[in-house]
Amino acid sequence: MHKRYFSSLTAALFLFVTAAPALGASSELPEDIEWLTNREDPVFASPEAQKGGMYNTAIASFPLTFRTVGPDSNSSFRSAILGNQLSLIGIHPNTENIIPELATHWAFGKDKKTMYFKLNPDARWSDGHPVTADDFAYTLEFMRSEHIIAPWYNDYYTKEIDKVIIYDDHTLAVVSTKAVPDLHLKIPIGPTPRHFYGELDESFVQKYNWKIVPNTGAYQIADFKKGRHVMFKRKTDWWARDLKYFQNRFNVDYVKYTVVRDFNLMWEHFKRGKIDTFPMTIPQYWHVKSNIREVGKGYIHRIWFFNNTQQSAQGLWLNQAKEIFKGPKVRYAFAHAMNIEKVIDQVLRGDYYRLENGYVGYGRYSNTDIRARRFDLAKVTEYMTEAGWTRGADGIWEKNGLRFSVEVTYSNEEHTPRLVVLKEEAKKAGLELRLQKLDPSAAYKKVMEKNHDVAWMGWSTSLRPRFWEHYHSVNAFKPQTNNITNTADPELDPMIIAYRNSLEEEERIRLSIEMQEKIHQIAPFVPTFMVPYVRHAYWRWWRLPGPPGTKHSSDLFPPFDSRTGGLFWYDEALHEETKEAMKRGRPLEPVTNVDKTYMMPFLK
C-alpha cells in the first residue's frame, strides 16, 4: 500500500518537472518555494477495522434539495453530501497539522497570500474522470456565478479568494485577496466538476435539485426515495482508500438515512434496532431513558467520550447600551448573581461543565487562567452598594427609580428549566430576571437590533478566536453586527486590530490571551455551560478504534467527513452472537465506556 503511495508521488513530481516549462512564462511556478507533505503524524483509524455492513441512521426531515449551494440547500443533510467532497488538504484532528487530501504536496508563497499545491494524479471523480487543476479554477467560476443564487458564496469567492493559477493539470496555486494568518485554514478549496456542470444558466437551481453530483470522497448516493430515505454506497475502488490518513476508514458498505420526524420516535426506532446509534448527550437520555433491558443485558453499549475542541461561547450577553449595565460594578454584580453551579449540579445532573471564558478549547490561544465569576451574595452586595444601589421593599436593588430588573431573551424551550432556577436564585441576590422566550428568528432579530437587556445564547465556533466581530467598537451601537454587548473599549480596540493584522502566530497567541483577560475585566458576558464531550448509545456489533475518537470529534459515528469521519466498523461475528443472545434472552456484559484520552487538562 505504501508502495503505491510513493509511486503516485513520484509520478506527480515527474509530471510537474516535465509539464511546467510547457505552459510558458505567464504562469511560471516560483523557484524558491518549499514543497511540504506530511507522512509522519500518527494515524487515528484502527488497523482492525473490517469493511462491510450497513449503517442505519435517521434524519428529522428529508432534504429539500441535493444541491449544496442556492435556495433551500442549507439543511443538516448538506453535511452528508459535503462530507464526501475532499479538499486540497486537511487538518489532522489530533495534531492539527496539515495532512494530504487531494493534494500530495503544498507550499506557502512568500507573499503570505498564496499556497501552491500538487494534486494526487490518482484522484478521480466518482464518474471516473481524473481530478485536475482546472476543476479548482472552475470552483471559482461556479461560486461566482449569479445563476447559483447564493450571494454569500458569490461574495466570499470574490472578496476572499482572488484567483486560482493553473501550472499544469496537477499543479496549481490558490491566492487569497489579502495576507491572513493561518492561510492554510482558508485556502484549501474543493474542486467542482466542470465536465459535469459545463456552462451554467438560469435553470441551475431547478435542474440540479436532485442531480447526484460526482464527488471525490468515499461514498456516493446510490438510491433515494423522496420523503423516505437516502442510501449511500461505498466506492469499492475509491482512489484514496490506501492513503495513510484514509486507510481503515469509511468501512461500511452502505449508509442509509431514514426520515424519522420526531426525536422520541427516533429513540423508539433505535431500541428496536432499526437505527444503529443514538446520541446520548442530553442528561435525561443518558441517566433515565437508557435504563432499558437492552442496555442492562449488554446488547446496547454506551460511550462517554471527552473531546478537546472549541467550545461555543454560551451564556448571558449583557447589552451595555442599556442604562442599567453602563457601569462595570453592576455587570460584576450580575455575574455574581448567576448561580450556574446550582443549575449544573441540581438540574443538569452535574453533566455539564462551567464555561470559564468565551474562548475555551482553542488550544494555545485559550487563556486557561480565567475563572468565571461564581455565585456570591456578599460580592453582589459589595458591588451594588459601591455603585450606590439600595435594596427595595421587595428585596430588589433600586437606584433613582431604576430597579435591578432585566429581561432575558432566549429562544430554546429546553433551556427554560435552567433559567427558572437562575431566576429564583438571582432573586436572593436582589436581581429580578424577566424571562422572555421568543421564537428563534424573533429573538435573533431583537438581539441583532440590540434591543435586548440580556441575551441568552451561544455563538458557533471557529478555528481561531475571533474578537473583532464581538468586541470592537466599530461594531458597537449599530444594528446587525455581532457586537451584541455594545462593547467599546479604547484599550481593547488597538489590541483587536493588532491581532487581526498580525501574521505572527506567537504574537497572536499573546494578544489573544491578553484580550481574554481584558474582556473578563469588562465583563459583558457571563459564561454558562460547556459540553466538552459526546455520548452515544450503539448496538453492540458496532466497533470503534482505540481511542474511540479524535481530539476534535463531536460525534463518534459520522459515516462521512474527511476529518474525523468513518472510524467505526461493523463486526458481523459480534452481530450474529448478539442476535443469538437476544433470541435466547441470554445476558451479556453491560458496557458503559468513559474515555478521557483527550479530556481538557483542567477538567481532570
Partner 1 sequence: MKPFQNINPLTLRKMRRFKSIRRGYYSFLIFILLILISLFAELLVNSRALVVRYEGELFFPTYGDMIPGTVFGLDYVYETNYRQLKEKFQAENSGNWVLLPPVPYNAYENDLQENAWPPFPPSFKDRHYLGTDVVGRDIVARLVYGFRIAIFFSLGLLLANYTIGVSIGCAMGYVGGKFDLFFQRIIEIWSNVPFLYVIIIISSIVVPNFWILILIMAFFGWINITWTMRTITYKEKAREYALAAKALGASNMRVIFNHIIPNTVAIIVTFAPFSVSNGIVALTSLDYLGFGLPPPTPSWGELLQQGWANMWAWWIAGSVIAAMIVTLLTVTFIGEAVREAFDPKLHTVYE
Residues that bind partner 1 (CB under 8 A): 284, 287-289, 342, 346-347, 349, 377, 381, 391, 393-395, 413, 416-417, 419-421, 423-424, 427-430, 435-439, 442
**Measured from the CB of residue 325, what is the shortest distance to partner 1 in angstroms?**
21
Are 562 and 103 contacting, i.e. CB atoms less than 8 angstroms apart?
A: no
Closest CB to partner 1 among residues 66, 270: 270
Distance CA 285, CA 305 (A): 16
**Measured from the CB of residue 320, what is the shortest distance to partner 1 in angstroms?**
23
Closest CB to partner 1 among residues 196, 285: 285
**Measured from the CB of residue 79, what is the shortest distance to partner 1 in angstroms?**
27
Distance CA 481, CA 470 (A): 8
**Measured from the CB of residue 347, what is the shortest distance to partner 1 in angstroms?**
6
**Measured from the CB of residue 410, what is the shortest distance to partner 1 in angstroms?**
10
**Measured from the CB of residue 417, what is the shortest distance to partner 1 in angstroms?**
4
Closest CB to partner 1 among residues 378, 573: 378
Antiparallel, parallel or unpaired: β 454-458 and 405-410: parallel
Task: Return the C-alpha cell found at 350.
Answer: 452535574
**Measured from the CB of residue 381, what is the shortest distance to partner 1 in angstroms?**
7
Closest CB to partner 1 among residues 225, 287: 287
Long-range Cβ contacts of 570-574 (<8 Å, 24+ apart): 570/50, 570/52, 570/53, 570/54, 570/55, 570/251, 570/252, 570/541, 570/542, 570/543, 571/50, 571/541, 571/542, 571/543, 572/50, 572/52, 572/53, 572/541, 574/540, 574/541, 574/543
Closest CB to partner 1 among residues 374, 586: 374
Closest CB to partner 1 among residues 160, 424: 424
Query: Residue 116 has what DSSP assignment?
Result: E
Closest CB to partner 1 among residues 209, 385: 385
Closest CB to partner 1 among residues 241, 391: 391
**Measured from the CB of residue 284, what is the shortest distance to partner 1 in angstroms?**
7
Strand arrangement of the beta sheet that strand 171-176 belongs to = 103-108, 114-119, 171-176, 161-168
**Measured from the CB of residue 380, what is the shortest distance to partner 1 in angstroms?**
10
| Longest Cα separation, the chain | 87
**Measured from the CB of residue 419, what is the shortest distance to partner 1 in angstroms?**
7
**DSSP string covering 438-491, please?**
--HHHHHHHHHTT--SEEEEEPPP-SS---HHHH-GGGTTSSSSS-TT----TT
Task: Reduce the DSSP state of residue 422 to 3 states and report it.
Answer: helix
Are 8 and 122 contacting, i.e. CB atoms less than 8 angstroms apart?
A: yes
φ, ψ (nearest 5 deg) of residue 542? -95, 130
Closest CB to partner 1 among residues 33, 347: 347
**Measured from the CB of residue 593, what is the shortest distance to partner 1 in angstroms?**
23
Closest CB to partner 1 among residues 146, 424: 424
HSE-up (13 A, CA, CB side) for residue 190 = 18
Closest CB to partner 1 among residues 381, 473: 381
Closest CB to partner 1 among residues 324, 429: 429
**Measured from the CB of residue 378, what is the shortest distance to partner 1 in angstroms?**
10
**Measured from the CB of residue 538, what is the shortest distance to partner 1 in angstroms?**
23
Task: Return the C-alpha cell found at 140.
Answer: 471559482
Are 226 and 62 contacting, i.e. CB atoms less than 8 angstroms apart?
A: yes
Distance CA 342, CA 349 (A): 10
Residues in contact with 134: Cβ distance below 8 Å, sequence separation at least 6, in sequence order: 166, 169, 194
Closest CB to partner 1 among residues 342, 518: 342
Are 370 and 405 contacting, i.e. CB atoms less than 8 angstroms apart?
A: no
Report the phi/psi class of residue 149: left, alpha or beta, with left for phi > 0 and alpha for psi in -120 to 50. Answer: left
Residue 485 corresponds to which amino acid? T
Distance CA 279, CA 302 (A): 10
**Measured from the CB of residue 574, what is the shortest distance to partner 1 in angstroms?**
30
Quick one: which of 190, 193, 157, 192 has its CA closest to 175?
Answer: 157
Task: Return the C-alpha cell found at 53.
Answer: 455492513
Residues in contact with 216: Cβ distance below 8 Å, sequence separation at least 6, in sequence order: 84, 85, 86, 102, 123, 124, 125, 126, 131, 190, 191, 239, 240
Quick one: which of 532, 78, 22, 566 has its CA closest to 308?
Answer: 532
Closest CB to partner 1 among residues 379, 500: 379
Number of H helices, E strands in the chain: 19, 26
**Measured from the CB of residue 428, what is the shortest distance to partner 1 in angstroms?**
4
Closest CB to partner 1 among residues 202, 424: 424
Task: Reduce the DSSP state of residue 108 to 3 states and report it.
Answer: strand
**DSSP string covering 127-193, please?**
TSPBP-HHHHHHHHHHHH-GGG--HHHHHHHHHTEEEEEEEETTEEEEEESS--TTHHHHS-PPP--
